[in-house]
């Protein structure tokens, strides 16, 4: 009896077909105003527009995390359930970003990017008016859809607008905008929540997004390299999107429990199975969701993993030190936010300088220099956390070292990944880098929570993060630093190997 392969059995149901007509109308992109095009600073205006989207995305991520206790109190729900507010955004982002990346290749980036701003702005405004918890979760999912449209386009627009010799500098400003969003999130979020209410953390980004959307309409260039093929791989999307959603769910669930739970294991198994089937399918289609040629470049894969680990380091450090500041040292939310803002500020100040530093040190050496600074910050915390009298000064010094290292690392490593991408796939590579950034952030929170629970269990705290206070919490956070140092070493070495491959190929 003939056995039908699992993917082949469903292929007729999801045969590549043209997209609906309304997407064709979206491809009729308006031309930018000639007045802007004639200006020498026009490319940097475009960098500013996409950097605004990066700022809004990072601000939203950090400020919503800060607001979760307030949201739980307002809607009368548990901490475990209120985490769905953050999870809904992440799930939508990772599920739709690769799909939107393919649509941008088919129909152009400008109009879809503007639509992304529109969805994000409208969903943000509606979130502030939510009267029911599940209504807020649905609106956050819609926010994630808009964020995915922005993420699928931002780096692609930047790469195709700025000249090759200025790309590293532009990526530095892009990373600085992300860091500015991270640094303002805890500080401004604390002020908004305490003075105006949780609704304003969503309303704050509405005028910024609206201004960037209008600026994009008159300044963004038309897409010059959209493909003529409008067929869409429905089966690839049906396999990949649920797999990515399950991966984020597993990582997020792990931050509140353990990987050995049957639910986590089941979701992880299904996600892996779907990814295996997706990879086999993508090798056989002419217009894949993500071109497999990207993964044939070892340099690109190494740099992409380096980006994922960099954001895992960052979110793990934020997670761990937030508990150390609030539960260990007893700081107020506003003081903790101001203290942690030093870390993001260091990233924001060092990221624009990364291009000049790379030119002086070289593509490969900057990863080692950045890794050394980041590692020094972690080791300083391991030696001093809870063991010095004026912890704010010493912790601040560690945050500066850690943040400066990441600021010097992220943009050059992203540039290495884009340089390692096969010809014609820089746009797809940029979208994929945004995807691994979000996966890295989810991994950082999950890993930080898992290690912190483990260390608290070793200190006879039964693994309960929410019950630990004072010296026990500080000791547990400090004992997590060696694991964070190992992640830094792995990310730095991957980036260095990728950079050497790219340099050798030129």
Instruction: Give the start-to-end residue ranges of the domains of the chain.
Output: 19-223, 233-286, 293-506
Q: Mean pLDDT score of the chain, rounded to an integer?
A: 80
Identify the pLDDT of residue 469.
64
Identify the pLDDT of residue 139.
94
pLDDT tens for 30-46 read 778 888 888 888 888 88
Q: Which two tokens stand for residue 388?
A: 């010095």
pLDDT band at 140 (very low <50, low <70, confident <90, very high): very high
CA dist., res. 503 & res. 506, Å (int): 5
pLDDT band at 1 (very low <50, low <70, confident <90, very high): very low
List for the chain the helix, strand, coil content (%; round to 5).
Answer: 80, 0, 20
pLDDT at 100 over 80: yes
pLDDT at 257 over 60: no
The burial of 15, by beta-carbon neighbours within 10 Å (0-12 exposed, 13-18 middle, 19 or more buried), is given as exposed
Highest mean pLDDT among 248-257, 285-294, 325-334, 472-481: 472-481
The burial of 285, by beta-carbon neighbours within 10 Å (0-12 exposed, 13-18 middle, 19 or more buried), is given as middle
Q: In angstroms, how far is the first alpha carbon of the chain from the final one? A: 54
CA dist., res. 65 & res. 68, Å (int): 5
Segment 184-213 mean pLDDT? 85
CA dist., res. 362 & res. 408, Å (int): 12
Q: Are 19-223 and 293-506 equal in CATH topology?
A: yes
Report the CATH number of the 293-506 domain: 1.20.1250.20
Which contacts qualify for 263-269: CB closer than 8 Å, 24 or more apart? none
The alpha-helical segments, DSSP class H, found in 331-420 are 333-350, 354-361, 365-384, 391-420
Q: What b/e string do you get for 182-200 counting C-beta neighbours within 10 Å, with b at 16 or more?
A: bbbbbbbbbebbeeeebbb
Q: What angle do CA 132, 137, 138 make, to 5 degrees?
A: 100
Segment 75-83 mean pLDDT? 71
CA dihedral 10, 14, 15, 19 (to 10 degrees): 180
Segment 303-313 mean pLDDT? 90
Nearest by Cα to 164 from 434, 410, 418, 411: 418
Identify the pLDDT of residue 397.
93
pLDDT at 194 over 80: no
CA dist., res. 244 & res. 267, Å (int): 11
Identify the pLDDT of residue 462.
47
Identify the pLDDT of residue 4.
42
Which range (31-45, 64-78, 309-323) has the least confidence? 64-78
Residue 189, helix vs strand vs coil: helix
329 secondary structure, DSSP code: S
Report the CATH number of the 19-223 domain: 1.20.1250.20
Segment 212-233 mean pLDDT? 76
CA dist., res. 380 & res. 196, Å (int): 38
Identify the pLDDT of residue 123.
95
């Amino acid at each position: 009896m003939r056995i039908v392969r699992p993917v082949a059995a469903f292929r007729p149901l999801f045969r590549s077909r043209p997209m609906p007509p309304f997407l064709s109308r979206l491809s009729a992109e308006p031309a930018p105003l000639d007045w802007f095009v004639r200006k020498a600073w026009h490319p940097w205006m475009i960098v500013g527009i996409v950097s605004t989207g990066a700022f809004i995305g990072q601000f939203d991520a950090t400020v919503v995390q800060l607001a979760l206790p307030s949201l739980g109190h307002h809607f009368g729900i548990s901490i475990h359930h209120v985490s769905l507010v953050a999870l809904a955004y992440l799930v939508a982002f990772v599920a739709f970003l690769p799909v939107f990346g393919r649509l941008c290749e088919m129909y152009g980036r400008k109009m879809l990017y503007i639509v992304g701003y529109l969805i994000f702005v409208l969903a943000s405004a509606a979130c502030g008016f939510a009267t029911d918890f599940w209504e807020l979760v649905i609106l956050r999912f819609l926010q994630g859809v808009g964020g995915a449209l922005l993420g699928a386009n931002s780096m692609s627009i930047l790469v195709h607008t700025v000249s090759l010799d200025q790309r590293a500098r532009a990526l530095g400003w892009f990373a600085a905008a992300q860091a500015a969003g991270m640094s303002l999130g805890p500080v401004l979020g604390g002020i908004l929540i305490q003075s105006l209410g949780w609704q304003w953390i969503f309303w704050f980004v509405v005028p910024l997004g609206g201004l960037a959307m209008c600026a994009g309409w008159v300044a963004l260039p038309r897409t010059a390299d959209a493909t003529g093929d409008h067929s869409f791989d429905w089966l690839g999307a049906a396999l990949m999107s649920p797999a990515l959603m399950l991966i984020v769910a597993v990582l997020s669930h792990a931050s509140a429990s353990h990987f050995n739970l049957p639910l986590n294991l089941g979701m992880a198994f299904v996600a892996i199975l779907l990814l295996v089937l997706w990879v086999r399918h993508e090798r056989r289609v002419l217009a894949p969701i993500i071109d497999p040629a990207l993964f044939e470049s070892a340099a690109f894969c190494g740099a992409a993993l380096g980006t994922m680990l960099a954001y895992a380091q960052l979110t793990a450090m934020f997670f761990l030190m937030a508990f150390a500041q609030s539960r260990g040292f007893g700081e107020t939310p506003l003081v903790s936010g101001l203290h942690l803002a030093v870390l993001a500020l260091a990233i924001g100040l060092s990221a624009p300088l990364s291009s000049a530093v790379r030119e002086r040190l070289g593509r490969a050496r900057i990863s080692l220099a950045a890794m050394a600074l980041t590692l020094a910050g972690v080791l300083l915390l391991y030696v001093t956390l809870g063991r010095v009298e004026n912890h704010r000064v010493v912790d601040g010094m560690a945050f500066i070292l850690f943040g400066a290292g990441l600021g010097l690392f992220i943009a050059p490593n992203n540039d290495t990944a884009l340089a390692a991408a096969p010809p014609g796939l820089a746009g797809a590579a940029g979208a994929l880098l945004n995807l691994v950034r979000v996966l890295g952030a989810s991994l950082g929170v999950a890993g930080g929570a898992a290690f912190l629970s483990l260390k608290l269990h070793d200190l006879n705290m039964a693994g309960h993060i929410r019950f630990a206070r004072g010296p026990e919490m500080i000791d547990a956070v400090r004992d997590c630093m060696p694991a964070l140092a190992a992640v830094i070493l792995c990310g730095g070495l991957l980036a260095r190997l990728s950079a050497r491959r790219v340099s050798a190929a030129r």
